[in-house]
Structure 1
Amino acid sequence: MGFNDLLQSIGGLGCFQVLHTSMLLLPMCFMACHNFLQNFTAAIPAHRCRLPWLDNQTMTYDRGLLLASVPLDGNQKPESCQRYTEAQSAVWSLNSTLYNNTEPCKDGWVYDKSVFSSTIVTEWDLVCDLHRMRQMAQSVYMAGLLVGALLLGGLSDRFVPESARWLILRGRSREALKYLQRVARINGKREVGVKLSEEVLISHMQSEMKHVKSSQSPVELFRTPGMRRVTICLLLVWFSASLGFYGVGMDLQKFKSNIFLLQFFFGAIDIPAHLISAMSMSYIGRRVTLSASLILSGLTLLANMFIPQDMIILRIALAALGKGCLAASFSCAYLYSGELFPTVVRQTGMGVVTMNGRVGSMVAPLVLMLWEVSTILPPVIYGLSGILSGSAALFLTETRNRQLPDTVGQVETRSKSKGFPRNTPKEEVALTKREPTSPQNHLIDTL
């Protein structure tokens, strides 16, 4: 009897897994709120140069004198970064002749606070020559997530049960026994848990333990051809998905519409995206789902370049569709990555690829700074990265209805055979009845 049969005997996908997943939902919701908070905390309100001879604490001023002090832009609104020289303003009247003698804002700015009373832009005057610092602030926030994961990731492992299979392979069978007995108790299988012992656990892992070294490091992710292919493709997938997802999701002000309604719309699109992704993974497969979602996201983002700026609704719809496709790719990547990496390096592999995803989220705001060089550069970069990573996903091995690999050797064997060996019809029936591998068996394997 294999280790998967042992997991099924203590309850399979039972109360423990449901409770464990439910407890993770609350912090995940808060994390999502923080990730897109900068659409509001870093929003750019309408602004113009502050005029000491005009603006006062009551903000009452003569409209004609304002027009005589600040030039108008193409939309017949006061310029955001220029004003007429102070020498001229001192002698201007409504009937005087205006000269095209302008200068940068030397005395700060006046901001429209009708929507946002305060943002980091108004707090630090991140406008005009300093407007790039707004994108830098977003990038620094994402860098903080990466640093926090590196520094606090180990600390969080003290409060989350490790995979029992991983613990046994690392020679920590006593800890694995304690976790499995706890799971059996919560799942209503106390009698089965009492009968377990370290010898029983090890006996179920004999075949896997024959191929396991005493230690597994990130080097194992690149040591063999099969592992290199999996790791490099997933690194590209995670980087590109994060790059496009946060690049589109944190630049909503460019649509010049209600930012609150846009945030709701762009957030709500993720719900059907995840549902469609789950159904597609179950019936079509992981590889096709991941590749199609990434390529489709790239095509929609590229197509948005050719939509006229005044067709706001169509541009918003295409951008939301692209973000939804990227959300679907994330949903697939989390599950698919865990199924592709063997048990002995699964945590290491997931840590490496998700960290690369954080790097992509750091780069996303910086790509937006290229908007000044050319308005087509950001969508081209986001779009082509999605198409490239989607194409790379086609080189991965399909894992639907196939057993998860436990060792690096199994990955190499299945890679050389052009895919995971598919179960025989008899085995697939048994698999459906007692040990579905994914997503159910993937959740079981996290015990």
Structure 2
Amino acid sequence: MKFEDILEEINGFGPFQILIIILLCIPRIVLPCHFLLNNFIAAFPPHHCDISTLGDGGLLKNLTHEQRLTVSIPVREDGVPKSCEMFAEPQFQLLANGSISADLPTVQCQSGWVYDNSTFTSTLATEWDLVCDRKSLTKTTGTIFFVGVMMGGIAFGFLSDKYGRRNSLLASYIMSAVFGFSSAFANSYVLFAVLRFLTGVGLTGISIISIALSIEWVDTGHRSFIGVIGSLAWSAGNMLLAGFAFLVNDWRTLMMTVTAPLGVAVLTWWWIPESARWLLVNNKVERAHFYLDKCAKINKRQKLSSKFKQETLSEILEKQDTNYTYLHLIKTPKMRRLTLLTGTVWYGVSSAYYGISLNISGFGLNMHLTHFIYAAIEVPAKLMIYCFLNIIGRRKCQAGTLLLTGICIAINIFLPQGLWHMRAVVAILGKGLSEASFTAVFLYTTELYPTVVRQNSLGYTTFMSRLGASLAPLILLLEDVWTPLPQVIICSLAIISGLTVLLLPETLNVRLPETIDDIEKPRASEVSSHSVETAGVFLESMSTTDI
């Protein structure tokens, strides 16, 4: 007998499972607010060299502000003052009509910069003058954050499999809240970068534990529902971020605003159950029985009988070594293959998603509106992927969304900049598809790996994902080398990862594997009777391929 049989007796999809989704919604809303926060706190407002000191000697005393700018700051071809240069000496001849500033000697800004505060009263760029030759430091904060997310994936993947989902989730709540709030009070760039790194470490626990905990409590038929509908919290948080950033235009206040919901999440943690699957795998039968009885009570089903507890429950999973580590992901042939392929897919999925999400300029729209549209398109994309996941399967959905994302990026490479309406439509479509692929990959990966190393596997794949995310801001900087280069790289990664998916097995209607032996030596008896055909695809794929 398998765990799914127990869930069937106590109702594998009832009020108990819905309650879990609701309790995990608040912290999952916080995730996009931090993951995409750099779009706003690291924004570059219009700026030019500070020329206030030039008027002290009386040279510019009688000139208006516009005239001072004319004689002091060179302009670009579009008539906008240059951001990082000023004339070596005031050029009074430019006040005459028809005069041009080409070839006049310029120097770097000598007394700092003046910023346009009409959109943002304060950003990282204005706080620490991260502009001109230091502008890459704002992108670097995003990379540092995602490096923290990478490290958190490894740490919380191990901790969750070792000490349980529930305790590790509380640790991630507290860590994210403490360091998230502390970031708002950083008095130097270095301190801010360190705190953002630690915030990223904590937030990863919320990301990987919440999805696994949700799916481990539901039956086979509702896994896609839990995975997709639960992820709508990310979309809600993403849209809220655009609203928060519009209403709160100071970066420190914005940091505190998007972190505040974690205080509520800590309070709701008391009602979150431990994963009964994890408890059984770790031979904690009595504790598992407690939560299963609780699930039965809330779902209005009969509690498990004493005979069930003594004879059946303890035999659902064979007693075995519980000291599973990341090494178990590569110890056996089919696990090695699975680890290599899923790591490649996650890297491509993340690179595509963040490559698009962090590029919210260039389409002729306000950045807040662009971000909101990018977030809103995720909702229909997730509802669409939910339908297709159960119709054509996980593998085809995953591959299709990635390949179509790559095609959308490729189209925009060749569309002229003047056709910004069309470019915006294609970019929004690509954003929706990239989010659909991200939604599918969480569910798909959770179903591919066995319970004993499920969190370790999510820690590893999250590491690969955040590696892609951490490099995305740096890839975008390559537009200074060749404008289309970032899009060419992101497009290639999306297509390669989409093709890689085709080498993975299908998991539609296949029971979750519990042990590594279920991967290495799958048995037909473990497949639900109504999914023999789909399960055959799974077994054939896992048994005919080796490395």
Query: Given the two structures, how large is their TM-score scaled by the length of structure 1?
Result: 0.85
The 5 Å alignment of 1:50-199 reads: 50-53=50-53, 61-86=64-89, 88=90, 94-95=95-96, 100-148=104-152, 154=159, 155-157=167-169, 161-192=273-304, 196-199=308-311
Deviations 1:221-241 (CA, angstroms, capped at 9, x unpaired): 112221122111111111111
- How big is each residue's C-alpha offset from its partner over 1:375-404, in whole Å with a ceiling of 9 and x where there is no partner? 122111111111111111000001112222
Unaligned runs of 5+ residues in structure 1 are 432-447
Q: Report the aligned-residue RMSD.
A: 2.7
Q: CA deviation at 1:429?
A: 8.3
Whether the 8 Å CA contact 2:154–2:459 is kept in 1: the answer is: no
- Matching of residue 354 in structure 1 with residue 462 in structure 2: yes
CA distance in 1: counterparts of 2:3 and 2:66, whole angstroms? 79
Moved more, 251-260 or 7-16: 251-260
Shift of 1:36: 1.8
TM-score by length of 2: 0.70
Q: Secondary structure at the match of 2:95?
A: coil
Superposed displacement of residue 352, structure 1: 1.4
Alpha-carbon contact 1:247-1:364 (below 8 Å) kept = yes
1:191-244 CA distance string (max 9 Å, x none): 4367652443113x1xx417x444322212112221122111111111111112
Aligned with 2:361: secondary structure? Answer: helix
Displacement of 1:412 after TM fit? 2.4
Instruction: Give me the identity figure in percent.
Output: 36
SS in structure 1 of the partner of residue 48 of structure 2: strand
Query: What pairs with 1:293-304 in structure 2 (closer than 5 Å)?
Result: 293-304=401-412
Can you list the C-alpha shifts for 1:96-155, whole angstroms capped at 9, x where unaligned?
Answer: 976711111111111111111211111122211111111101112223334455566745
- 1:360–1:315 Cα change, 3 Å: same
Go from structure 1 to structure 2 and tell me whether the alpha carbon gap of 1:150 and 1:395 turns closer, same or farther (over 3 Å shift).
closer
Residue equivalent to 2:8: 8
Q: Which amino acid in structure 2 is aligned with residue 82 of structure 1?
A: E
Q: Give the corresponding residue for 1:392.
A: 500
1:181–1:196 contact (8 Å) kept in structure 2? no
Aligned to 2:130, what secondary structure does the other structure show?
coil
Partner of 1:436: none
Give, as a single letter, the amino acid of the residue that structure 2 aligns with 1:22: I
C-alpha spacing 1:193/1:127, structure 2 compared with 1 (3 Å): farther
Q: How does 1:362-401 map to 2 (within 5 A)?
A: 362-401=470-509
* Aligned partners of 1:44 and 1:121 also within 8 Å: yes
| Cα pair 1:48 1:78 within 8 Å, conserved | yes
Deviation string 1:12-67 (CA, Å, 9 cap, x unpaired) is 211110000111112111221222222111111111111134579xxx93322321
Q: For residue 136 of structure 1, what is the amino acid of its counterpart? A: T
SS at match of 2:107: strand
Aligned pair partner of 1:287 in 377, 395, 399: 395
Q: Find the counterpart in structure 2 of residue 209 from structure 1.
A: 318
Partner of residue 441, structure 1: none
User: Gapped runs of 5+ residues in structure 2?
Assistant: 57-62, 160-166, 171-268, 534-547
Q: Check conservation: 1:266, 1:320, Cα contact below 8 A.
A: yes
Q: Report the residue type matching 1:232 in the other structure.
A: L
How many angstroms apart in 2 are the aligned matches of 1:145 and 1:55? 49
Higher deviation after alignment, 151-160 or 74-83 = 151-160
What amino acid is the match of 2:371? Q
Residue 267 of structure 1 is matched in structure 2 by: 375
Greater fraction helix: 2
For 2:295, give the aligned amino acid.
V
Q: Is the 8 A contact 1:70 1:83 kept in 2?
A: yes
SS at match of 1:83: strand
Kept in 2: contact 1:65–1:94 (CA 8 A)? no
Question: Over alpha carbons, which structure has the higher Rg?
Answer: 1
Aligned to 2:86, the other structure's residue is in SS state strand
Q: Tell me if structure 2 keeps the 8 A contact 1:239–1:357.
A: yes
Q: How many residues align?
A: 416
1:48-94 Cα distance to aligned partner (Å, 9 max, x none): 111134579xxx933223212111101011111111113x45x7673
**Alignment match, 1:428:** 530
What secondary structure, in the 3-state scheme, does the structure 2 residue paired with 1:321 have? helix
Letter in 2 for 1:188: K
Structure 2 counterpart of 1:51, which letter?
I
Following superposition, the deviation at residue 355 of structure 1 comes to: 2.5
**8 Å CA contact retained: 2:149, 2:463:** no
Selected match of 2:450 from 342, 345, 351: 342
Moved more, 31-40 or 378-387: 31-40
Specify whether residues 301 and 172 from structure 1 end up closer, same or farther in structure 2 by C-alpha distance, changes over 3 A only. same
**Which 10-residue stretch deviates more, 243-252 or 382-391?**
243-252
Distance in 1, matches of 2:525 and 2:302, equals: 35
- 1:326 deviates by 1.2
- Structure-2 separation of matches of 1:245 and 1:253: 15
Residues 336 and 399, structure 1, Cα contact 8 Å, conserved in 2: yes
Matched residue of 1:197: which SS?
helix
Where in structure 2 are the equivalents of 1:286-325 lying within 5 Å? 286-325=394-433
Q: 1:167 and 1:93, CA in 2 relative to 1: closer, same or farther beyond 3 A? A: closer
